[in-house]
Chains A and B, each alone.
Chain A
Amino acid sequence: MSGPSDSQIEQFKATFFEECAELLGDLEQRLSVLEGGNQDIEDLHAIFRAIHSIKAGGGTFGYVRMVTFTHSFETMLDHLRDGALEITPEVVDILFRASDIVADLIDVAQQGGTPDDDFGDEVLAQIDQILASMAKAEGAAEGAAAGSEEAADEEAERIGSVALFQIDFKPHPSLLRNANEPLLLIRELRTLGELTVQLDASQVPSLHALETEDLHFTWRLMLRGACREADVREVFEFVDDDCDLTVERLEPKGDRDAEAGTGSSRSEDKTPADKAADKAAAPAEQAAAKSKSTGGEAAGKERRTSSIRVDLEKVDKLVNTVGELVITQAMLTQQLEALAADKRARIASGLEELSTHTRELQENVMAIRMQPVKSVFSRMPRLVRDLAGKLGKRIKLITRGEETELDKTVIEELADPLTHMIRNSIDHGLEGPEEREEAEKPVEGTIVLSAEHRGGRIVIEIADDGRGVNRDRVLEKAIDQGLVAADAKLSPEEIDNLIFAPGFSTAAEVTDVSGRGVGMDVVRRNITNLGGKITVQSTPGQGTKVILTLPLTLAVLDGMVITVGDQKYVVPLGNILESFRPKPEDVQTLVNGGQVVKMRGEFMRLVGLARIFDVPNATHDPSKGLVVMVESDSGSSFGLVVDELLGQQQVVIKSLEANYDPIEGISAATILGNGQVCLILDLDGLEAMDKLAPRDLLEAATLAREPAPAPAPTPAGEPDPAALDDGAAPEQEEPQGEPAGLDDPSSLEQPS
């Protein structure tokens, strides 16, 4: 046969690395469970299997260091499984380190490199030490086994010249029960040399006593070939226990004859090492039996539905095709309107059905891309552990809602921001043990990482019980860095949200944990690029909570189609708070040409789409058109001045950047029912583009407002961020007499 080609090998390798990534993720998670003190035997089994699989694959592809390292790792895990070794914090620590090494080795292999021979030796030494400290008996068995391997190697070096063997093969009656077939063994012997076969059927019982499943023949075989005795014995490898076998080298007489040829009983053939291994196997068997009872329960708990692995590209293609189908279907529906009513009816009902199925199909296809956030959450315990250790803090990480599903792309993009925020919590948020003790808090700090679905979006929260945002310091820094005016009056939430301002960093010293350069502004940008929002809530001395709201998918969007002049645009539905036509007297034009509208006693900034996009024939006067109040992903609210709302629609997001460049104020495009391209608005971008009235002007306008109670605007599709507050943290109420009336934290980032 021909071996696999290089490209096939590459493919196997790709599969292997993909599998390794999954295994490592699972490993990490289960190690964290172990660390948490929940010692479920099933976790140990799974960890063992993961390392075992990596070892097997590593061996297949010739990653030597991976094999030798995982071998020791595996041995240690095996002893943990059979209870010979106890799970102590020290042991867990070694497990973590060892899995780190394994991850590194996989990494190196994937990059096509070769690790140093002593890579991970420190950890190996620790493993060896642990193993050495175990019961002596087992240590001896290990040593003996190693010895036998050496002996085998030695024998392998002897190259046999042509020899004649006499083989007496007396199968036990039970040989057939394991589906072994003497005929195949004899055939195999023939591949070693010239063979003469003598069958002895004398032991076959009379017909009425014959057990058809038993074997009653014996053979004497004479083999002449250029092989070693070991080769001959290897043929009978699988039936060793089920037969009496003697192999005798007749000529030339071998120097090992005395040892090898005389014994007829199987047990006498065994080397001391084999015996030791047999003994060692006994407890292992018991352990396996023990584990079966628990394994049964675990199997029920963790029943896997059968699955297939599909290239993401194929799924994406499917998503795209379904997207096209949705568009085509919308186009058909629209064209139907042009038909006469009598012709329409029958087609319409068919089309409606098509529409239902299409939507269903789309949902199902999108669901294929969905994955539990577990895959990214599972990386966090390690991070917390490592950082806490480094900083001498005691920190407990609690994760919730790991099964919450999210588009794979979003999950991948989430890893960096999450890592960053957790680092931040550990580095800046949570206090050291002494400080916590002084503050009469539990010495161990807590970070809660949770995910849940809320209204078609996913909400991820990172909450710690640390010292909270140091508002004085944040404000001071922001003023230093020129992010806000020295005399600016900011509400506590506004100050808290300054941490997202570009280039902002509060760390008194740059630590090697949080590092320098990448700030929370980058995190916010990452999240915003995903169509998400990020806000922070903090209570001094009690903790900080960062809230991420993300769309479930990046491929479709619920949008509101609006018109401005002869142009249509899509506004993401999730960002729309409400829409209304203001009275002429409620609209005020500022000296620089900007507009504000009075709404429930607040002046809200207006963004004229026609003006910033230079659209002809559009309504510039909000009181003649409509104002769509939106909340941008960065959390600021403003009104878009539009001509008309055409209706809401689910749209398939198409990239503009594939064939063109990014356009300010536009996030992407979609195709409407009539086949026309329609642009999707980027609210943050629009806000930045709108040449805003300087803050003092806005304040002047705000100060002139009628003193009226100012309830928050009723959110249309989204819960108000304030409503997300479970009361655990921030002070929401503004200090009395505070002149900064604009409920818009992001305006504070404007240099004034």
Chain B
Amino acid sequence: MPKKVLAVDDSKTMRDMVAFTLTDAGFEVLSAEDGQHALSVLGDTKVDLVITDVNMPNMNGIELTKALRSNPVHKATPILILTTESGDGLKAEGKAAGATGWIVKPFVPEKLLQVVNKVCP
């Protein structure tokens, strides 16, 4: 069974890029436009990985991460935050919220896959 990934980003360009790269590598990619949308897409269904942007309307990536970590179903799901922030502050904030790791935008497909393989069992 292909692994399922949820890509959360308010930018369609990014969602498409992530979706394309991962689909091509054999993942099944779901997508959502922001944190709230992601939660409603997921519900209580387990996925193998969540990749989320941080800066999003309604519910940002940090809040989403916290929400997922507090849900028993998603507690152990790897979460990668996707951000252009070069500062370590955001990474630390992400980690504190429960993120597994991060990907710095812009990324090349190889880098994305490398990071995904690093956290996705």
Contacts and interface: CB of A to CB of B under 8 A. Distances in A.
Q: Is there direct touching of A and B in the complex, by C-beta distance under 8 Å?
A: yes
Interface of A: 1-4, 8, 11-12, 15-16, 19, 45-46, 48-49, 52-53, 55-60, 67, 74, 145, 149, 176-181, 183-185, 188, 235, 237-238, 241, 274, 277-278, 280-282, 284-285, 288, 292, 295, 299, 302-304, 306, 309
17 contacts: A1-B21, A4-B21, A45-B57, A49-B10, A49-B55, A49-B57, A52-B84, A55-B84, A57-B11, A67-B106, A180-B100, A181-B78, A274-B88, A278-B88, A285-B89, A299-B36, A302-B58
A58 B20 CA distance: 18
Nearest to B84: A56
Contacts of A238: 95, 100-102, 118-119
B44 interface: no
Interface of B: 10-14, 16-17, 20-21, 24-25, 33-34, 36-37, 55-60, 62-63, 69, 75-79, 84, 86-90, 92-93, 95, 98-102, 105-107, 109, 113, 117-121
A58 B11 CA distance: 12
Given A188-B118, A238-B101, A281 B57 contact: no
Contacts of B14: 53, 56-57, 60
Contacts, number: 146
3 nearest A-B pairs in the assembled complex, by CB-CB distance: A281-B89, A59-B106, A238-B101
A179 B92 contact: no
B14 to A, nearest CB: 6
B79 A179 contact: yes
A603 to B, nearest CB: 61
Contacts of A285: 89, 93
Given A8-B20, A188-B118, A309-B12, A288 B76 contact: no
B95 A4 contact: no
B55 A1 contact: no
Given A59-B105, A288-B93, A19 B13 contact: yes
Which of B34, B84, B93 lies at the interface centre, i.e. has the most chain A CB atoms within 10 A of its CB? Answer: B84
A2 B24 contact: yes
Contacts of B13: 12, 15-16, 19, 53, 56-57, 60
Contacts of B63: 292
Contacts of A306: 33, 37
A321 B98 CA distance: 51
Contact of B12 (A15, A46, A277): A15
Contacts of A180: 78, 100-101, 119
Nearest to A17: B13
Contact of A302 (B16, B37, B57, B106): B57
Given A53-B14, A181-B119, A288-B93, A1 B24 contact: yes
A145 B86 contact: yes
A299 B10 CA distance: 14
B63 to A, nearest CB: 7
Given A53-B10, A304-B58, 7 more contacts: A59-B106, A60-B107, A178-B99, A179-B119, A180-B119, A285-B93, A299-B36
Nearest to A54: B11
B12 A19 contact: yes
A52 B55 contact: yes
A1 B119 CA distance: 18
A251 to B, nearest CB: 27
Given A299-B57, A299-B59, A12 B37 contact: no
A241 B97 CA distance: 13
Which of B63, B78, B88 lies at the interface centre, i.e. has the most chain A CB atoms within 10 A of its CB? Answer: B88
A178 B98 CA distance: 5
A274 B101 CA distance: 18
B5 to A, nearest CB: 13
Contacts of B11: 19, 53, 56-57
A295 B34 CA distance: 13
Contacts of A179: 75-79, 98, 100, 119
Given A15-B13, A56-B106, A238-B100, A281 B56 contact: no
Which of B33, B55, B93 lies at the interface centre, i.e. has the most chain A CB atoms within 10 A of its CB? Answer: B55
Contacts of A304: 33-34, 57-58
B87 A15 contact: no
Contact of A178 (B36, B89, B95): B95
A184 B120 CA distance: 8
Contacts of A278: 88-89, 92
Nearest to A14: B13
Contacts of B95: 178, 238, 241
Contacts of B57: 45-46, 49, 299, 302, 304
Contacts of A176: 76
A280 B87 contact: yes
Nearest to A291: B60
A288 B62 CA distance: 10
Contact of A4 (B20, B78, B105): B20
Contacts of B24: 1-2, 4
Contacts of A16: 13
Contact of B89 (A4, A45, A280): A280
Given A52-B84, A59-B105, A60-B17, A184 B119 contact: yes
A277 B98 contact: no
Contacts of B113: 1
A183 B119 CA distance: 10
Contacts of B79: 178-179
Contacts of A19: 11-13
Contacts of B87: 145, 277, 280-281, 284
B69 to A, nearest CB: 8
Contacts of B88: 274, 277-278, 281
A180 B113 CA distance: 16
Contacts of A177: 69, 98
Nearest to B26: A1
A34 B102 CA distance: 33
B92 A281 contact: yes
Contacts of A181: 78, 119, 121
Contacts of A11: 16
B17 to A, nearest CB: 6
A6 B121 CA distance: 31
A114 to B, nearest CB: 17
Contacts of A295: 60
A331 B99 CA distance: 62
Contacts of B56: 49
A49 B99 CA distance: 21
Contacts of A4: 20-21, 24, 109
Contacts of A15: 12-13, 16
Which of A11, A53, A235, A241 lies at the interface centre, i.e. has the most chain B CB atoms within 10 A of its CB? Answer: A53
Contacts of A56: 11, 13-14, 84, 105-106
A219 B110 CA distance: 28
A237 B101 CA distance: 8
Contacts of A299: 36, 57-59
Contacts of B106: 56, 58-60, 67
